[in-house]
Structure 1
Amino acid sequence: MNKAVEFIDWGLTDYQDAWTKQEVLFDGTVALKTKNRTENTNLATPNYLVFCEHPHVYTLGKSGHPENLLLDEQGLKEKKATYYKINRGGDITYHGPGQIVGYPILDLDNFFTDIHLYLRTLEEAVILTLADYGISAGRYPGYTGVWLDPDNEKARKICAMGVRCSRWVTMHGFAFNVNADLNYFKNIVPCGIDDKDVTSMQNELGFELDMEEVKNKLKNHIAVLFKMDLC
C-alpha cells in the first residue's frame, strides 16, 4: 500500500481545465492498476489531493435533473456563470470563489475499499475543520455532505459531495463553502433538495475567513483520518 499523497493547490482555475487535469491523473492511475494486473507487476499507484477554487459554475451529476438549474443561457451569461454536465454522482451544485473544492484522486486499494466509508471520512474532515472554528456540524440522514442543525427545521448544507469511483480510483469530491457568495445557490435547486438552505462559514461566523488557513486545517484533518503521508 502506498499512502504517500501529493498535495496540489491549483488556485482559481477554470472548471473545464480542472476536469481535464483530473481525468489525466485519474486515467494514469487506472492504467497503472491495469498494467499491474495484466502484466503481474506490483508498481505503486500514486495518490493526489487537489484543492482549488473555480469561477462561477454550475455542474450537474450523471443522475441529476437538468430542471434543477433555474437559469437559461441568457441567465447564465448575466450571472457570468458556466454550466457542465459531468460524470460524478449527485445532482446539481454550484462552485465559485470563496469555496474550497477538493478533488482527492486516490487509489482506495492504498487505504480502504469502501466507498461509503470514503464519503463519511471526507465528511468527518470537514466536520473537524468546522469544529476548529467553533461551528458544530454533522450529517443529515439519507444525504451526503455536511450540515448544520441537521436534526431540526433549520438544517442547512455547508459542504456538498459528489464522486466518481472506478477500479477503486476516485475523482471529483467536495465543495466546502467558506466565503462563497450564497446568492448563486438561488439559481438552482441545490443537490435536488428544495426545502433546505445552504450556508457558509462566513455566513455563520459573520466575518471573512482566511482561505489558506482553512485549507491547511482541512488538508491536515484529511491526512490524519486517511493515515496519509502528505507531501
Structure 2
Amino acid sequence: MNKNIELQDLGFKDYKQTWDYQENLFKAIVDTKIKNRRENAALETKNYFLFVEHPHVYTLGKSGDMSNLLVDEAQLKAKNASFYKVNRGGDITYHGPGQIVGYPILDLDNFFTDIHKYLRFLEEMIILTLAEYGLKAERSPGETGVWLDVGTPFARKICAMGVRASRWVTMHGFALNVNADLGYFDLMIPCGIRGKAVTSLNVELGLEKVDESEVKAKLLKHFKSLFEAEFYQGS
C-alpha cells in the first residue's frame, strides 16, 4: 500500500480549471486500478492532496436543490461570482478568497476502504486544528462538516465538506473558512440547512487576519497522523 501523498498548493485558481485538474488526477488513478484488475498487474496508485483558494464561486452537489441559491445570474455577475453544478455529494456551498480548500485525491485501497471513516477523519483533522486555536469544534449529528456551539441557538458552521468516490478513489473535499467574507454566504442557504449561521476562524478569534500558511501546516500535521501518511512536495 502506497501511503505517500503528493502535496500541491495551487494558490489562487479558477474553480473549473481546478475541477478539471482533479478529474485528470482522479481518472489516472482509476485507470491504473482498472489496468491492475484486467491484467493482474501490481502497478502502484498515486495519492494527491491539493490546497487551493478559489475566486468567488457557488457549487451545487448532485443531490442539491437549486432553490438554495438565492440570487439569479445577473446578481451573481454583480458579485463577481460564478456557479457550477458538480459531481460531489452534498447541497450548495460557497468558495472564495480567505478560505482554505483541500482536495485529497486518494486511493483508499492504500489506507482503508470506508467512506464514512474517511469523512470522519477529514472532520477530525479540522476539529484538531481548531483546537490548537482554542476553539471547541464538533460534528453536528446528520450534518457533514464541522461546527461550533452544536446543539445551541448559536450553532455555526466553519467548515463544509463534500466528496465523490468511485472504485475507492476520492475527489473534492473540504472548505475551511479562515479569513472568509461571510457576506457571500447570505446569497445561499448553506448546504441546504436553514436557520444556522456560518463563521470564519478570524471572526472567532477576533482577528483581522489569520496566517493561512500556519493553518495549512496544522491541517497537514493532523491529516498525516490520522491517515498514517507521508507527504512529499509536488510541482
Q: Report the TM-score range of the alignment, normalised by the length of the smaller protein.
A: over 0.9
Structure 1 residues 40-55: aligned runs within 5 Å: 40-55=40-55
Aligned residue type for 1:213: E
Cα deviation 1:156-179 (Å, max 9, x = unaligned): 100000000000000000100000
> Does 2:60 correspond to 1:63?
no
Letter matched to residue 20 of structure 1 = D
Q: How many Å separate the matches in 1 of 2:151 and 2:8?
A: 35
Letter in 1 for 2:77: K
Deviation at 1:106, TM superposition (A): 0.2
Q: Percent identity?
A: 65
Asked if 1:227 is matched to 2:224, the reply is no
State the match for 1:189 in structure 2. Answer: 189
Per-residue deviation at 1:77? 0.7
Aligned-residue Cα RMSD (Å) equals 0.5
Secondary structure of residue in 2 paired with 1:17: helix
Are 1:108 and 2:111 an aligned pair?
A: no
Measured in 2, the distance between the counterparts of 1:91 and 1:6 equals 29
CA drift at 1:206 = 1.1
Matched, 1:91 2:78: no
Alpha-carbon separation, structure 1, partners of 2:43 and 2:100 = 32
- State the AA in 1 paired with 2:228: K
TM-score normalised over the length of structure 2? 0.97
Give structure 2 stretches of 5+ with no counterpart. none
Match of 1:17 in 2: 17
Counterpart of 1:35?
35
CA distance in 2, matches of 1:227, 1:136: 24
CA distance in 2, matches of 1:224, 1:99: 23
Aligned to 2:141: 141
Structure 1: which amino acid aligns with 2:231? Answer: L
Counterpart of 1:24 in 2: which secondary structure?
helix
Q: Which is further off, 3-12 or 150-159?
A: 150-159
Alignment pair present for 1:209 and 2:210? yes
The separation in 2 between residues aligned to 1:29 and 1:79, in whole angstroms, is 37
Q: Which amino acid is 1:230 matched to?
A: F
Consecutive unaligned residues in structure 1, runs of 5 or more: none
Q: State the shift of 1:153 in Å.
A: 1.6
The aligned amino acid for 2:204 is E
Quick one: distance in 1 between partners of 2:111 and 2:3?
7
Aligned-partner SS, 1:145: strand
User: Which whole-Å CA distance do the structure 1 matches of 2:202 and 2:70 have between them?
Assistant: 25
Q: Deviations over 1:48-104 (max 9, x none)?
A: 011100000000000000010011011001100000000000000000011011100
Post-superposition offset of 1:230: 1.0
TM normalised by structure 1 equals 0.99
Return the alpha-carbon distance in structure 2 between the equivalents of residues 73 and 153 of structure 1.
33
Q: Which residue of 1 aligns with 2:219?
A: 218
**In the comparison of the two structures, how many residue pairs are matched?**
231
- Measured in 1, the distance between the counterparts of 2:99 and 2:82 equals 16
Distance across 1 between alignment mates of 2:26 and 2:85: 18
Deviation, structure 1 residue 151: 2.2
CA distance in 1 between partners of 2:48 and 2:145 (Å) = 21
Corresponding residue of 1:6: 6
Partners of 1:116 and 1:127 lie apart in 2 by: 16
How far the C-alpha of 1:220 sits from its partner, in A, is: 1.3
